[in-house]
């Protein structure tokens, strides 16, 4: 008999990225967090402790399935075997949401293990939409995440927010709004974060990501922000987040902390902070 489990849908509150080192604390404390998000590729082994932990976790919390390796934003055909693995995980764990990135990670060289940028043109828009159609046919409806990028292509002639809006219009997918990625790109590409946000197709946003970025400065003093996921959420990101929630209402919101992972109490406090921020009035 299957164990009893909680509702599949993600509640409109904060969740956290699941880390195996927090498993014992989570099972002992049963903390009040909205959901746990997992990186799909970490659960593509046949069995073992990762699946044992996830089976236990899903009886207590809704899950969100987040892929980091499908390479939707590249010119090459999607890996059909990878789509099958994603579909199998979705069937087995019944996550409330499934999301992937506007990025590529595989090419002739193999899998490069990074979220790499693409030009925004009519040609690339069609390829990305075809890949999303194929993914949604194989795995089910998905959310697409706005990227963090460190370079831009000179040939891009469609603004990123319009590129995302058109993908939504053509494919029916939803969007995952990573607020930290806006702050990272605003500094790296010299645009205003609020202006970007105001032009973002917020009506399609079904999940929000929050994280900490790192700062580097080159010899000539140019600031470069890195999407490091290794620290607390920055004040400017919280301010932007309040603006998002004021516009779209409470929304499932993930704290991403994947490197220099803190203890459970610190991570949980960051999730509680997101819930508090979502209740604060924002100046829209």
Contact set with another protein (CB under 8 A): 41-42, 44-52, 68-71, 74-75, 79, 81-82, 85, 104-114, 116, 118-119, 121, 123-124, 127, 149-155, 188-189, 216, 218, 220, 222, 224, 226
Taking the complex as a whole, how short is the minimal distance between the CB of residue 263 and another protein, in angstroms?
A: 19
List Cα–Cα distances, 253 to 5, 149, 200, in angstroms.
21, 21, 17
Nearest to 42 by CA among 18, 12, 72, 61: 18
Taking the complex as a whole, how short is the minimal distance between the CB of residue 66 and another protein, in angstroms?
A: 13
Dihedral over alpha carbons 37, 40, 46, 48 (to 10 degrees): -30
Taking the complex as a whole, how short is the minimal distance between the CB of residue 200 and another protein, in angstroms?
A: 22
Q: DSSP letter at 170?
A: H
Taking the complex as a whole, how short is the minimal distance between the CB of residue 259 and another protein, in angstroms?
A: 10
Taking the complex as a whole, how short is the minimal distance between the CB of residue 278 and another protein, in angstroms?
A: 31
Residue 223 or 263: the one with the smaller Cβ distance to another protein is: 223
Taking the complex as a whole, how short is the minimal distance between the CB of residue 243 and another protein, in angstroms?
A: 25
Where are the extended beta strands (E) located within the chain?
14-17, 36-39, 63-66, 97-101, 104-107, 110-116, 143-145, 174-178, 205-211, 214-217, 223-226, 253-256
Beta-carbon-side half-sphere exposure of residue 63 (alpha carbons within 13 Å): 23
Taking the complex as a whole, how short is the minimal distance between the CB of residue 51 and another protein, in angstroms?
A: 8
Q: DSSP letter at 39?
A: E
Residue 75 or 172: the one with the smaller Cβ distance to another protein is: 75
| Residue 220 in tokens | 């000539």
Residue 5 or 39: the one with the smaller Cβ distance to another protein is: 39
Residue 112 or 265: the one with the smaller Cβ distance to another protein is: 112
Cα Rg of the chain, angstroms? 18
Taking the complex as a whole, how short is the minimal distance between the CB of residue 71 and another protein, in angstroms?
A: 8
Residue 154 or 284: the one with the smaller Cβ distance to another protein is: 154
Contact 93/58 with Cβ under 8 angstroms? yes
Measure the CA angle with vertex 232, ends 235 and 216; round to 5°. 80
Residue 30 or 52: the one with the smaller Cβ distance to another protein is: 52
| Residue 16 in tokens | 């956290």
Contact 18/267 with Cβ under 8 angstroms? no
Residue 226 or 248: the one with the smaller Cβ distance to another protein is: 226
| Residue 64 in tokens | 């969100």
Residue 99 or 253: the one with the smaller Cβ distance to another protein is: 99
């Amino acid at each position: 008999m299957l164990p009893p489990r909680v509702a599949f849908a993600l509640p409109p509150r904060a969740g956290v990225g699941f880390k195996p080192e927090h498993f014992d604390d989570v099972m002992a404390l049963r903390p009040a967090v909205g959901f746990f998000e997992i990186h799909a590729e970490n659960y593509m082994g046949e069995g073992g402790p990762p699946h044992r932990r996830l089976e236990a976790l899903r009886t207590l919390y809704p899950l969100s399935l987040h892929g980091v390796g499908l390479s939707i934003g590249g010119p090459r055909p999607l890996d059909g075997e990878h789509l099958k693995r994603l579909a199998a995980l979705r069937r087995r764990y019944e996550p409330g949401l499934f999301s992937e990135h506007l990025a590529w990670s595989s090419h002739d060289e193999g899998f490069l293990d990074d979220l790499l940028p693409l030009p925004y043109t009519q040609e690339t828009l069609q390829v990305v939409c075809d890949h999303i159609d194929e993914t949604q046919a194989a795995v089910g409806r998905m959310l697409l995440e706005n990227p963090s990028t460190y370079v831009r292509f000179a040939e891009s002639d469609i603004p990123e927010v319009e590129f995302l809006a058109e993908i939504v219009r053509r494919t029916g997918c939803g969007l995952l709004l990573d607020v930290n990625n806006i702050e990272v790109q605003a500094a790296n590409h010299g645009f205003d974060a609020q202006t970007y946000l105001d032009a973002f197709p917020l009506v399609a946003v079904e999940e929000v990501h929050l994280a900490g970025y790192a700062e580097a400065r080159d010899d000539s003093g140019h600031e470069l922000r890195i999407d490091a996921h290794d620290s607390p959420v920055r004040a400017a990101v919280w301010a932007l987040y309040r603006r998002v929630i004021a516009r779209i209402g409470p929304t499932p919101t993930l704290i991403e902390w994947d490197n220099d992972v803190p203890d459970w109490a610190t991570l949980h406090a960051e999730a509680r902070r997101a819930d508090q921020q979502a209740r604060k009035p924002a100046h829209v």
